[in-house]
């Protein structure tokens, strides 16, 4: 798992705006998997219709995929969990198929290994029924209900009363996928600038925009905001008024010691708590080797809060002054404290994992990495469940793209590219210059 990045994105605007040295049709802010997938879709659409399109991706960090994309579980989700008809359900199912096809075509290592979801108590059976119903409604092939004995045919060390086998789930390295998207972008004439955080956006008299980046100013006809943990701030920087606030939730992992990795064949998930968009701590065999356990979901005091002690005054102030945060806290404080306890107590983390694999011992777990989820929260205190993508004048803002957005990235990219094309008039021939 990559180490924690350091670059504070979306910093204060420069005191002296510079004149744009270059002109692009589109600037994409954010070089994670969603930004690069969007850039790839825009360039592919332009190439397919014989239009020229000049496009720049600006990324604040020295490398692509250093935040959510490079610090996740690496699971290709099937589309099991999501409300039928939601953007998450349709884009995940379509995106999963596109992800397997892309990896196949571009030689990105991946595996369609399947997973089991396990009900550990009778009280979880109604939620398991609902997952099965959703999976079938979302068109998943081959999902099968398992009894306690059948569960152990898939995962011999499991404890559970019933489960679901989901054969279309897989594993991949999303940093490698992002790098492969970047190759396609460059091959189609797109540019990618790293160490180029967007610091300010201003409108020009001709309706175009100037984006001030850490590598100078660029002019563009339109902008797509895929800045993940900073996406609400970029939207505000662009003059939009997003009705949500990004609240960071850290997900911490342990790794299984090499001699105990045989406890897990593939992927083992609990039945998730339907009140939250998080899936509960699970076991994941990684494509590069090893088995991870986690992630939990702890409120982070910094948007780049990869460690328990990480604190940002600006980020905490932004969270604490948002009315939706206090409404959420009133409703879910107990769960929040439970997650915090699990973050500080390895024993508490172990006991959540032991519900799935009772043989697991404290010494089998070594602290692993962490990722921070960019979870949008609305003013009512609800964690926004679906992907949220909004259009503005010559802009598209991706304001909520949590899991399964890595899986769904190709289809999210196509969806955003379509909105951007409408918004920017890209269906028309692009003027030279």
Task: Single out the residue of 329, 336, 322, 228 nearest to residue 273, CA to CA.
Answer: 336
- Should residue 75 be labelled a site residue for ligand FAD when binding is judged by CB under 6 A? yes
* Sole binder of ligand FAD in the list 35, 135, 248, 277 (CB under 6 A): 35
- Should residue 59 be labelled a site residue for ligand FAD when binding is judged by CB under 6 A? yes
- Should residue 61 be labelled a site residue for ligand FAD when binding is judged by CB under 6 A? yes
Q: Under a CB-based contact definition with an 8 Å cutoff, are residues 281 and 352 in contact? A: yes
- The Cα–Cα gap between 428 and 422 comes to 10
Closer CB to ligand FAD, 162 or 277, in the complex: 277
* Sole binder of ligand FAD in the list 39, 227, 416, 424 (CB under 6 A): 227
Dihedral Cα 101, 411, 228, 203, nearest 10 deg? 130
- Should residue 282 be labelled a site residue for ligand FAD when binding is judged by CB under 6 A? no
* φ and ψ of 223, to 5 deg: -135, 140
- The Cα–Cα gap between 198 and 136 comes to 43
| CB atoms closer than 10 angstroms to residue 391 | 14
- Two tokens at 105? 């075509």
Kindly state the smallest distance separating residue 191's Cβ from ligand FAD, in Å. Answer: 14
Q: Would strands 267-270 and 115-119 be described as parallel, antiparallel, or unpaired?
A: parallel
- Two tokens at 297? 């979901």
- Should residue 219 be labelled a site residue for ligand FAD when binding is judged by CB under 6 A? no
Closer CB to ligand FAD, 68 or 343, in the complex: 68
Kindly state the smallest distance separating residue 227's Cβ from ligand FAD, in Å. Answer: 4
Kindly state the smallest distance separating residue 23's Cβ from ligand FAD, in Å. Answer: 19
- Should residue 58 be labelled a site residue for ligand FAD when binding is judged by CB under 6 A? yes
- The Cα–Cα gap between 291 and 38 comes to 31
* Sole binder of ligand FAD in the list 27, 45, 53, 74 (CB under 6 A): 74
Instruction: Count residues binding ligand FAD (CB under 6 A).
Output: 44
Q: Site map for ligand FAD, 394-433, x if CB under 6 A?
A: -------xxxxxxx--------------------------
- Should residue 229 be labelled a site residue for ligand FAD when binding is judged by CB under 6 A? yes
- Should residue 295 be labelled a site residue for ligand FAD when binding is judged by CB under 6 A? yes
- The Cα–Cα gap between 167 and 320 comes to 42
Spell 129-163 as b/e; 16+ CB within 10 A means b: eebbebbeebebeebeebeeeebeebbebbbbbbb
Q: Which residue is nearest to ligand FAD (CB)?
A: 32
- Should residue 310 be labelled a site residue for ligand FAD when binding is judged by CB under 6 A? no
* Sole binder of ligand FAD in the list 20, 41, 45, 73 (CB under 6 A): 73
Closer CB to ligand FAD, 162 or 224, in the complex: 224
* Sole binder of ligand FAD in the list 9, 180, 376, 417 (CB under 6 A): 9
* Sole binder of ligand FAD in the list 140, 182, 198, 268 (CB under 6 A): 198
Task: Single out the residue of 157, 158, 65 nearest to residue 371, CA to CA.
Answer: 65
Backbone region of residue 207 per phi and psi (left: phi > 0; alpha: psi in -120 to 50; beta: other values):
left
* Sole binder of ligand FAD in the list 371, 389, 395, 417 (CB under 6 A): 371
288: which DSSP letter?
T
Residue numbers of the site for ligand FAD (CB under 6 A)?
A: 9-10, 29-35, 58-61, 65-69, 71-75, 77, 197-198, 226-230, 234, 251, 295, 371-373, 401-407
């Amino acid at each position: 798992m990559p180490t924690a990045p350091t670059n504070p994105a979306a910093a204060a605007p420069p005191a002296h705006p510079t004149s744009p040295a270059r002109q692009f049709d589109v600037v994409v802010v954010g070089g994670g998997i969603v930004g690069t997938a969007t850039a790839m879709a825009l360039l592919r659409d332009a190439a397919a219709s014989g239009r020229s399109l000049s496009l720049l991706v600006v990324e604040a960090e020295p490398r692509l995929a250093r935040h959510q994309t490079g610090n996740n579980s690496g699971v290709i989700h099937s589309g099991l969990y999501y409300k039928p008809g939601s953007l998450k359900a349709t884009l995940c199912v379509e995106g999963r198929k596109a992800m397997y096809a892309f990896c196949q075509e571009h030689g990105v290592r991946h595996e369609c290994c399947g997973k089991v979801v396990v009900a550990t108590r009778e009280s979880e059976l109604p939620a398991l029924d609902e997952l099965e119903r959703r999976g079938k409604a979302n068109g998943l092939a081959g999902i099968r209900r398992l009894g306690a004995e059948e569960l152990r045919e898939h995962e011999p060390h499991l404890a559970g009363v019933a489960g679901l086998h989901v054969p279309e789930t897989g594993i991949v390295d999303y940093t490698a996928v992002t790098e492969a998207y970047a190759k396609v972008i460059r091959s189609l004439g797109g540019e990618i600038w790293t160490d180029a955080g967007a610091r300010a956006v201003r409108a020009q008299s001709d309706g175009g925009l100037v984006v001030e980046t850490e590598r100078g100013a660029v002019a563009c006809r339109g902008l797509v905001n895929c800045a993940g943990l900073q996406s609400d701030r970029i939207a505000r920087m662009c003059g939009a008024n997003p009705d949500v606030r990004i609240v960071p939730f850290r997900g911490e992992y342990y790794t299984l010691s090499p001699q105990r990795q045989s406890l897990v064949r593939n992927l083992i998930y609990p039945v998730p708590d339907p009140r939250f968009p998080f899936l509960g701590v699970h076991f994941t065999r990684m494509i590069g080797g090893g088995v991870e356990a986690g992630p939990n979901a702890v409120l982070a005091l910094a948007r780049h809060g990869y460690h328990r002690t990480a604190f940002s005054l600006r980020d905490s102030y932004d969270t604490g002054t948002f009315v939706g945060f206090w409404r959420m806290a009133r409703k879910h404080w107990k769960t929040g404290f439970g997650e915090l306890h699990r973050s500080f107590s390895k024993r508490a983390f172990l006991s959540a994992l032991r519900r799935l694999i009772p043989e697991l011992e404290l010494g089998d777990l070594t602290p692993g990495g962490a990722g921070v989820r960019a979870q949008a929260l609305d003013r009512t205190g609800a964690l926004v469940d679906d992907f949220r993508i909004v259009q503005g004048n010559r802009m598209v803002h991706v304001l909520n793209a949590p899991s399964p957005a890595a899986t769904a990235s190709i289809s999210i990219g196509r969806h955003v590219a379509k909105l951007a094309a409408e918004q920017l008039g890209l269906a028309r021939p692009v003027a030279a210059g």
